[in-house]
Amino acid sequence: MPLPDPGGRRHLPEHLQQGAVILAGVLVVVAVGWAIHAGAGGDEPVEAPPTVAAEPAEQVPIPIPSMSPSPSMTPVNEIVVEQVPIGDTVDLAAEGEIDWVHWGEKGRFSLERDSGGKFTILEGTPGEPRLRHTSSPQRFTWTGSPAGGATSGVTTCGTGHGFTLSAPAGTGSHTLRLYVGAMKARGDLRIELSTGGEPYTDSFAARGESMGTTAYVVSYRGSATGKISIKWITGATFDENCGGVALQAATLS
């Protein structure tokens, strides 16, 4: 226990006094160090937190249209007709690469045609009246034709009478040449495709004493397999006896 001081005060033992002195010194040193650290803390750089690389933003894919095949183009139904004069001589065999036909050389129901044409050009059922003529101002030739060419053909009489023809049609282009005439009559032409489209119509008239002739160059193609139909009909007659239309030849290429 503490010893009494002669003056009446109590004193700690010696060894406790020494410990107190040491503890006080330690506290002073800590206080001084803390003060120094606190005073210098504003000047020292603060270590920045480690940088974390940002993850790349997810890339949004750009939509690309699919490369689907283009739809195939469907051919349109098309008829293009040009009316042209006929030359002095027509070589049917050279012109008709697919088929050719001539009418009337040996009679009113005779047909002279390409042996290799496979009956591509066809005439509809013949009607009456039907006559053979030799009045064509042009001459038609083929292998075995008369020397100098044939001026023959077939004709009919009266309004509403005439001829019908047909040929195959498809998505490929073809050209049919039609050699026709009229004697004191007006001929009405109508051409149409079985696969659709607008028909073609025209008229040709001859009022004189001689036969008038013309050629129709018909270029056509269909939207599918079908046929082209041709009607050459007497639309009006200028002769009470026998005005009508005539048919000479046709070629297909």
Label each residue of the chain as H, E or C. CCEECCCCCEECCHHHHHHHHHHHHHHHHHHHHHHHHHHHCCCCCCCCCCCCCCCCCCCCCCCCCCCCCCCCCCCCCEEEEEEECCCCEEEHHHHCCCEEEEECCCCCCCEEECCCCCCCCEECCCCCCCEEECCCCCEEECCCCCCCCECCEEECCCCCCEEEEEEEECCCCEEEEEEEEEECEEEEEEEEECCCCCCEEEEEEECCCCCEEEEEEEEEECCCCEEEEEEEEEEEECCCCCCEEEEEEEEEC
Residues 114-140 pLDDT 10s: 999 999 999 999 999 999 999 999 999
pLDDT above 70 coverage of the chain, percent = 71
Q: Tell me what pLDDT residue 26 has.
A: 46
Q: Tell me what pLDDT residue 49 has.
A: 52
Higher pLDDT, residue 46 or 221? 221
pLDDT category of residue 16 using cuts at 50, 70 and 90: very low
Residues 179-199 pLDDT 10s: 999 999 999 999 999 999 999
pTM of the model: 0.71
Q: Tell me what pLDDT residue 24 has.
A: 53
Q: Tell me what pLDDT residue 76 has.
A: 85
Q: Tell me what pLDDT residue 12 has.
A: 46
- pLDDT for 13 beyond 60: no
Residues 30-89 pLDDT 10s: 454 544 444 544 444 445 555 555 555 555 555 554 444 444 456 789 999 999 999 999
